[in-house]
Amino acid sequence: MLETKLLTFLTVGKIKNYTKSAQILNLTQPAVSQHIKYLEQYYGVKLIKKSGRNIELTLEGKEFFQYAKKVEILEKNIYRRFRNKSFIEKTCNIGATLTIGGYVLPNILGEYKENHSKIEVILTVNNTEEILKKIIKEEIDLGLVEGPFDKNKFKYKKFKDDELVLAFSPKHEFSKEDYANIDTILGGKLILREEGSGTRKYFENILIKQGYKPSDLNIYMEVGSIDAIKALVEANLGYTIISKAAIERELKLGVIKTLPMKNKELKEVRFRREFNFVYLEKSIDKYLKNIMDFCLKRDVMNL
């Protein structure tokens, strides 16, 4: 609660009338005058002066008024924060990889919050490697990752299926083709995420299964931001392997295109993977289970 004398001064400074201020504050006029007098004596300056029948703030009074307003705003903010906090039943710390955190989860968590106002969800977005580290350190309670992880070290539950696709500008030469050969993809201006990214790790693993070596991966650019990669692709400065979920909007607008990918034997290669909930068994409670169930039901509804 704002200090009484400060509140009195703010009211007088706004109303510029002792009688009306007293009525608003439910005080007597002498009490209002006494509060102002106390402040003037305490700070050693004149805060209010008479101007005919009216009162005005002095130069120091105007300066003090601005200070008092800031104090009032801070007090209201801390009041709201603490009052709201008292209504929060549980805070859930969730970590998600860039694709999931940037393109899949926002709408789902928005709907969840509308239906569960007493549950606070704090979302951390990072690459798969960092999310897994945070789970181990218990900095987050639940992770959603798109890359490979040690299934002996973590508990996990499938969230949904995803597919990596070749994405390129309509101006690129790929637009003239019916498919893209992986050898051609690896030999050109391939833009990929940084090491530690689940997308990149999964892509590399599938290439190895197809008989390629890590040294065959000739990366033109490494970029940590998905939005930056999409911008580079739209500008026809290269092409990328990316989650289809991350380019849904661009595909609808026609600013990015995709093609099937084929290996040396001209067999189609599809980069299908899973998005998984990953957690430590001791970290999961009924609230996090409820969030997982909500995400799963929301995904089924959108199929």
Q: Please provide the average confidence, as pLDDT, over all residues in the chain.
A: 90
161-274 and 4-85 share a CATH fold: no
* Spatial separation of the C-alpha atoms in residues 68 and 65, rounded to whole Å: 5
Mean pLDDT of 145-158: 91
CB burial readout 232-243, b (16+ within 10 A) else e? bbbeeebbbbbb
Does residue 213 have a pLDDT over 70?
yes
* Spatial separation of the C-alpha atoms in residues 285 and 93, rounded to whole Å: 12
Q: What are phi and psi of 225, to 5 degrees?
A: -105, 130
Q: Is 16 left (phi over 0), alpha (psi -120 to 50) or beta?
A: left
pLDDT band, very low/low/confident/very high, at 300 (cuts 50, 70, 90): low
User: What pTM does this model have?
Assistant: 0.63
The residue among 62, 21, 61 whose CA lies nearest residue 39 is: 61
The domain 90-160+275-301 is placed in CATH, from the list 3.40.80.10, 3.40.190.10, 1.10.3720.10, 3.60.21.70, at 3.40.190.10
Does residue 132 have a pLDDT over 60?
yes
pLDDT at 1: 61
Mean pLDDT of 280-293: 92
CATH class of segment(s) 4-85:
mainly alpha
- Above pLDDT 70, what percent of the chain? 96
Mean pLDDT of 165-182: 96
CATH class of segment(s) 161-274:
alpha beta
pLDDT band, very low/low/confident/very high, at 84 (cuts 50, 70, 90): low
Spans of all domains in the chain: 4-85, 90-160+275-301, 161-274
